[in-house]
Amino acid sequence: MTHNLKRTFAMLLLAIFGSTILYNCEPDPDSLGEQLFNDDAAQGNEIAYPVIAYNYNNNDSIRSDAARLISGLSETGAVSTVGVLGAFTESQFGMQRASYVTQLRMPVDNYDFNGANPKVDSVVLVVRPPANTASNTYFFESDSIKTNTFEKSDFPVDGVATAVSIEKKTYPVRKYGKIGGASKSMKINVHEVTTFLDSNDDKFKRSNAGTSISTGELLGSGVFDGNINSISVTKKSDNSVVFTGNLGFRMKLSNTNFFQTHILDKKGKPELQDASNFIRYFKGIKISVDETDRYLYQFSPNDLQLIMYYKYDKTENGNTTRPQTNLAFNLGGASAHIGLYEYNNAGTPAANAVAASNSSVGDEKLYIQGMGGPSVVMKIKDETIADLRKIYVEKKAGILSAKIRVYVDPLSWKNTNSTEDRRFSILTNTLNSNGTIDFSKLAYTSDLSTGLGLYNYNKDKDYYDIIVTKTIKDLVEEKKETVNGQDVPIVNKPLVIGAGTFAANATGTLLGVRNTTRAFDMNRIILTGIDKANTNPKRIQLLVTYATKK
């Protein structure tokens, strides 16, 4: 790997994991003491304890509206959003299919279409990748980018046939699922939405809202072959750029009559009077795929473009011409955005394990899936805390390190057809008394800035270490926390582990406990859970290293 490539990859990791990476510079309070040792070379006494770990059912549903599709903030404060399209089926988790619904708005109220007698020429939908991925080797391998240049003698420039040079660059998107062969292409459909998308209605905020959303006319279809393109058109005569098509997948919609009758023919009528009228008249579009077993890929909802090209009458000095112009609908900003996810997982190992989950004893295999699939709950036993407290009191022991080690299941999950690499952070929340996830704060702490541990997948050893040093020390030493103005003992709370990471701004500051990538994280993974016989060396365990005074 070249120096530049390494630097690019490192910059990407910093962008993705934000403040998580910064913990290398300033140790997480939950890992104090860890920096004194190198990996497994810690000195002192190490003792292992069993951990209760079981599967948690999210009912194949997740909050997936505009407030949850946030991946971060740019240096200018602009919101970066991510959506998912496609479908993937495999034996462990079953089928997961992702669609997307959004509202659209006119660029201005009472749009006058420049002149009389406007007629549609064509309508194009452009689906773009998440921000800044074109130059990022994490999403696009540099040796896989293809550049084609060709010439055209009759390219229309201001209505005149012009000789131009056209450069087209092709980038393969990062896929999660099957790759190549018959799995290369998917049919993408665009439908009119006929249900008003009330963004204040909770039923339009979740990934299973598809049952509440109806569609009408098919506006067009296109075949996506897994690649996105950028195009630059340059005049041969003076090398001036006459057209630039930024990176994306451009799909020409065939139902131009819909846009003629529903948009252009409504010129000057109440339907186009203002945004409130318009979103109740033209309620939105749905983007979906036909297939159920290809791959999932990510796109940028705020960068979607729907462009209508049309001609109109223009009269000057008694002469009437029909120049072409375009109208770009607004699909970002205040519009409703909903990621819709479908599941067909009946009878799969993941569904069976979730249905039979045992929160008292734990489960032998643990299933984690983004976009509303199952999570995992881990609980340190109360008797473990009692035993460690006894050591602490009787031996005057100081805890140097504590981590929950959980292994990737070696036999039942290996997605060899995907570019996914299983390197992802995991979220930690706690459970409320009624068994639901508590999103009011991170596990064990009310301070968001100190609640995020550094959880790394160790490729060589196939395990995750979840650092819980401060957690164990606080419980063993019977520390207190302030709740509603009262000092109360810290409680031994379960951890909820899910695919994804926390969203951050450009400087790495976390955006809040609810702002995570769970709603669009495509990863899924199987971990090894408990072993009732305690003979499996790769069973989930709490590893505590402590030292005593001589």
Concatenated DSSP letters of 179-192: -SGGGS-EEEEEEE
The pLDDT score that the predictor gives to residue 453 is 45
Predicted model pTM: 0.84
Query: Which tokens hold the place of 291?
Result: 């297939």
**With contact defined as beta carbons under 8 Å apart, do 362 and 376 qualify?**
no
Q: Are 515 and 530 in contact (CB under 8 A)?
A: no
The label of the residue with tokens 């606080």 reads 474
The residues, any chain, with a CB within 8 Å of residue 550's CB and separated by 6 or more, are none
The pLDDT score that the predictor gives to residue 293 is 95
Q: What is the pLDDT of residue 418?
A: 62
Q: Which of 425, 451, 449, 450 is nearest to 438 (CA)?
A: 451
Q: Which residues pair with 85 in a beta bridge?
A: 297
C-alpha gyration radius of the chain: 27
Residue type, 380: I
Between helices 469-476 and 382-394, what is the axis angle to 10°?
Answer: 70
* Confidence at residue 414, expressed as pLDDT on a 0 to 100 scale: 67
**Chunked mean pLDDT (size 10), the chain, 550 residues:** 40 32 35 39 78 95 91 78 94 96 94 91 93 45 75 82 89 85 93 95 93 96 93 90 87 97 95 95 97 94 94 87 92 89 97 97 95 92 96 91 88 64 52 63 39 56 83 89 84 82 75 79 91 92 88
CA-to-CA distance for 360 and 434, rounded, in angstroms?
15
* Residue 165 · residue 151 · CB < 8 Å: yes
Bridge partners of 413, per DSSP, are none
pLDDT at 417: 58
- Amino acid in the structure at residue 422: R
Q: Are 418 and 176 in contact (CB under 8 A)?
A: yes
CA atoms within 13 A on the CB side of 217: 13
Q: Which among 510, 513, 511 has a CA at the least distance from the CA of 427?
A: 513
pLDDT at 530: 97
| CA diameter of the chain | 103
Q: Are 54 and 324 in contact (CB under 8 A)?
A: no
d(CA 170, CA 164): 19
CA-based torsion, 489, 490, 492, 493: positive or negative:
positive
Pairing of strands 426-431, 480-483: unpaired
DSSP 433: T
Cα–Cα–Cα angle for 12, 34, 7, nearest 5°? 20
d(CA 371, CA 295): 14
Provide the pLDDT for residue 19.
30
